[in-house]
Amino acid sequence: MGYMKNKKRRLKRSNIRKMQAGGMIDESNLFYVKYNTRLTTNKLNAKKSEHGLVSIKHATKRTDLIPSAANVVVVGIVRV
């Protein structure tokens, strides 16, 4: 159980670093959102446009490794 928790943390941190490298995103501007189903790329882009997000990405690339994180999306916002 402990191994999987650490694995989740590492995945989340690596995604945050990639998002930070892509633009000026501070960790305090990133949030995890869990949906009932995994969003397609088109739906991710639609959500990004709809809510004016800076970035949006799946928390995991593969759905079979950590099934509970398959529907989690990391979103970046701009704080005013």
* Full-model pTM: 0.62
Beta-carbon neighbour count of residue 46 at 10 Å? 13
> Is residue 12 within 8 Å of 57, Cβ to Cβ?
no
The closest alpha carbon to 53, from 76, 33, 80, 25, belongs to 76
The pLDDT, as a whole number, for residue 78 is: 77
The pLDDT, as a whole number, for residue 5 is: 45
Q: What range defines the domain where residue 68 resides?
A: 2-76
> Is residue 72 within 8 Å of 34, Cβ to Cβ?
yes
The pLDDT, as a whole number, for residue 29 is: 83
Looking at the 3D structure of the chain, how many domains does it have? 1
The pLDDT, as a whole number, for residue 18 is: 52
Q: How does pLDDT run along the chain (80 residues), one tens digit per residue? A: 444 444 444 445 555 555 554 555 566 788 999 999 999 999 999 999 998 898 999 999 888 888 888 999 999 887 66
